[in-house]
Amino acid sequence: MKTTIKTLKNRIDALEIELKVMRRMLGAAAEKKDPKAWDRLHTVGKEISRDWKSDKPSWQLISEDRR
């Protein structure tokens, strides 16, 4: 599976939505650390690093994409 900037953004967006839903379900008024969300984020990070095919770091690709 080829990882692209769009794929990375989609994964991040999905995780952000998941966190918002979890916060609403729990009635959280303030941001709280959720171990399940961090575990999922860690898993996604491992998958991204395993599939990484670029010589450039992710921050550089994202910066270039935004220009």
Residue-wise pLDDT tens digits, 8-63: 888 888 888 888 888 788 776 656 677 888 888 888 888 887 877 778 887 787 78
pLDDT of residue 37: 86
Q: How far apart are CA 6 and CA 62, in angstroms?
A: 10
Domain of 59, in residue numbers: 5-66
Q: How far apart are CA 65 and CA 49, in angstroms?
A: 19
Tokens for 58?
Answer: 């992710």
With beta carbons less than 8 A apart as the criterion, state whether 37 and 11 touch. Answer: no
pTM of the model: 0.37
- When divided into structural domains, the chain yields a total of 1
Q: How far apart are CA 12 and CA 39, in angstroms?
A: 14
Angle between helices 58-66 and 5-26 (to 10 degrees): 100
